[in-house]
Amino acid sequence: MDGATVLPRSPPGQLVLHVIADEDDEPIRGARIEWIFDDDRPPATTDELGDVTLEVPMADEHPNEADTWIEVGAPGRAAESVHVTVAAGAVQRETVHLEIAFSVSGTVRDTTGQAIAGAQIVAGDGMVCITPAPEIATATSDASGRFRLDGLPLDAVIEYTIADGEHTARRLRRGRRDSSPLDIVLDDGGTLRGVLRGPDGAPVAGGRVRVKSLSHGYGELVGIEPTWSAEDGHWEIGGLALDSRWEVTAGHGDFMDSVSLVVEALGPDRRESSCDLVLRPLATVIVDLDFAAPHAPSTARLLPETDYEESCPVPGRVSFPVRTPGGWAVRCGVEGLGPQRASTEIAPGETKTLRVRFDEGASLAGLAVDDTGAAVGNATIQVDANGRWPREAVAGPDGRFVVSALEEGPHEVTVTATNHAQWTDDEVDAPADALRCELPRFGVLALQLRAPDGTTPPTSRWVHWNDYPVYGSDEGPWDAGRVEQALPPGSYIVAVRVAGYVKWEERDIEVFPGEHTETVEIELDPGVRLTGRVVDPDGEGVPWATLFFDLSISETDGEGNFRSPPLAEGVHEVHVYNLPGVLEARVEVDHDTPPLLIRQQRGSLVQVTISGPTREKLDECWVRVSRSDSADDADAEWLDEPDTPELFVGRFAPGPHRISVVREDEVVATREVELRDGHDVAIEITLAK
pLDDT at 583: 64
User: Do residues 277 and 193 touch, judged by C-beta distance below 8 A?
Assistant: no
Whether residue 578 has pLDDT greater than 70: no
For residues 204 and 325, what is the distance between their CA atoms, to the nearest angstrom?
Answer: 20
The whole-chain average pLDDT of the chain stands at 87
For residues 265 and 216, what is the distance between their CA atoms, to the nearest angstrom?
Answer: 12
Confidence bin at 217 (pLDDT 50/70/90): very low
Q: Which of 601, 599, 598, 597 has its CA nearest to residue 583?
A: 601
pLDDT at 633: 58
User: Do residues 239 and 167 touch, judged by C-beta distance below 8 A?
Assistant: yes
pLDDT at 610: 81
Long-range contacts, 674-678 (Cβ 8 Å, 24+): 675/603, 675/604, 675/606, 676/604, 677/537, 677/601, 677/602, 677/603, 677/604, 677/653, 678/537, 678/602, 678/603, 678/604
pLDDT at 299: 93
pLDDT at 635: 62
- Express each pLDDT in 276-317 by its tens digit: 999 999 999 999 999 999 999 999 999 998 778 899 999 999
- Express each pLDDT in 339-377 by its tens digit: 999 999 999 999 999 999 999 999 999 999 999 999 999
Across 51-55, 234-238, 444-448, 587-591, least confident range: 587-591
Q: Which of 288, 322, 292, 317 has its CA nearest to residue 304?
A: 322
Confidence bin at 644 (pLDDT 50/70/90): low
For residues 85 and 69, what is the distance between their CA atoms, to the nearest angstrom?
Answer: 9
Q: Helix (H, G, I), strand (E, B), or coil: what is residue 118?
A: coil
pLDDT at 577: 66
pTM confidence score: 0.63
pLDDT at 631: 65
pLDDT at 416: 96
Q: How many CB atoms lie within 10 A of CB 549?
A: 22
Residues 6 or more apart whose CB falls under 8 angstroms from that of 224 comprise: 163, 169, 211, 237, 239, 240
Confidence bin at 321 (pLDDT 50/70/90): very high
DSSP class of residue 618? H
